[in-house]
Amino acid sequence: KRTLLPLLRDEISAFVFPCHLAVQRPELKHMVMELLRCIPLLLFLIFVCVLDHFIFSVLSIIQNHSFVQYSYQTSHHMAINVMGTSLMAQLLRSTIGALNASADIQVETSNLACLPKPRGMTREQYTNTCLPLITLALLCLAQVYPFRLRRVIASFYFPKREKTRVLFLYNKLLRQRKNFFQRQRRRIAWRARQPPGLGTSLLEWCHQHWPWLCRCRRRSCTLCETPGTSWNKVCSAPNCNALYCDRCW
């Protein structure tokens, strides 16, 4: 029977493994989209903070450079002296003498009551303002882990639907793998029909004359082009020497 195990390199990147702590490629796209939705909120928050700081700076300049103080001082002294000892002089002194007055007036005033009294936001207030957005961004990063439970919950309540989905996925991967191998077979056959280039011919000539250079050559899998390792398999067909990784072999 044809089986799907082990998975190919391209197939592994298309699956989500629930036990892996790292964010995987299928989850990365949704996570990036959620983070992009936070950018308008971030820009609005930055605009509000900059506008608040600008208004505070303008009001502080007005408060520091628009202070005006007025000082008004005046003196008023009035004295009427009536000379003589006659009855008329005494009468005038008793009547007109009441008009004698002395007054010193000193008034100081300012526009301090009319000036604005701005208060800038503290660091704690800025932190409390940005904290909801930071929490939202962290939730966008952490949402991938609760989302992995959706399939488990759905399979618990709908087991028949889960079986249908698994069979559909299995057949889909079989078709994709068949098409993948056919496509790769055509690609390898096309490469084999191409005449070797100057660099390839020179490299083969160097390997024939200096075999120890093969140890320094970095080869990759013929099928999936994964960099070569010590566990790779070499094709046993004569005059082939194609290198395959364990999964493709």
Query: Phi and psi dihedrals of 78, rounded to 5?
Result: -135, 125
Confidence of residue 120 (pLDDT cuts 50, 70, 90): confident
Chain-centroid distance, C-alpha 51: 21
Strands (E), 45-196: 69-78, 101-110
Both 138 and 229 in one domain: the answer is: no
* Residue 127 domain flag: yes
Task: Say how many domains are in the chain.
Answer: 3
Per the omega criterion (within 30 degrees of 0), is the bond before 211 cis? no
pLDDT tops 90 at residue 157: yes
Mean pLDDT across 188-199: 74
Output the pLDDT for position 41: 93
Instruction: Name the DSSP letter for residue 6.
Output: S
pLDDT at 36 over 90: yes
**Among the listed ranges 24-33, 69-78, 240-249, which one has the minimum average pLDDT value?**
240-249
Long-range contacts of 114-122 (CB under 8 A, 24+ apart): 115/62, 115/63, 115/66, 115/67, 116/59, 116/62, 116/63, 117/63, 118/55, 118/56, 118/59, 118/60, 118/63, 119/56, 120/53, 120/56, 120/60, 121/49, 121/52, 121/56
Structural domain includes residue 203: no
pTM, rounded to two decimals: 0.60
Same domain, 115 and 225: no
Q: Are residues 166 and 138 in the same domain?
A: no
**Domain check: are 151 and 54 in the same one?**
yes
Name the percent of the chain lying above pLDDT 70: 87
Mean pLDDT for 113-126 is 88
Q: Are 176 and 2 a contacting pair, CB within 8 Å?
A: no
Lowest mean pLDDT: which of 52-56, 88-92, 124-128, 136-140?
88-92
Its domain, for residue 60, covers 23-69+108-157
Judgement on whether residues 140 and 226 belong to the same structural domain of the protein: no
Residue 58 has pLDDT above 90, yes or no: yes
Same domain, yes or no: 28 and 120: yes
96 in a structural domain: no
CA-closest candidate to residue 177, choices 223, 233, 113? 223
- Claim to verify: residue 170 and residue 188 sit in the same structural domain: yes
Residue 42 within any structural domain of the chain: yes
Query: Which amino acid is present at 65?
Result: H
pLDDT at 182: 86
Furthest CA-CA distance within the chain: 159
Q: Tell me if 138 is assigned to some domain.
A: yes
Beta carbons within 10 angstroms of residue 33's beta carbon? 10
Whether 145 and 171 share a structural domain? no
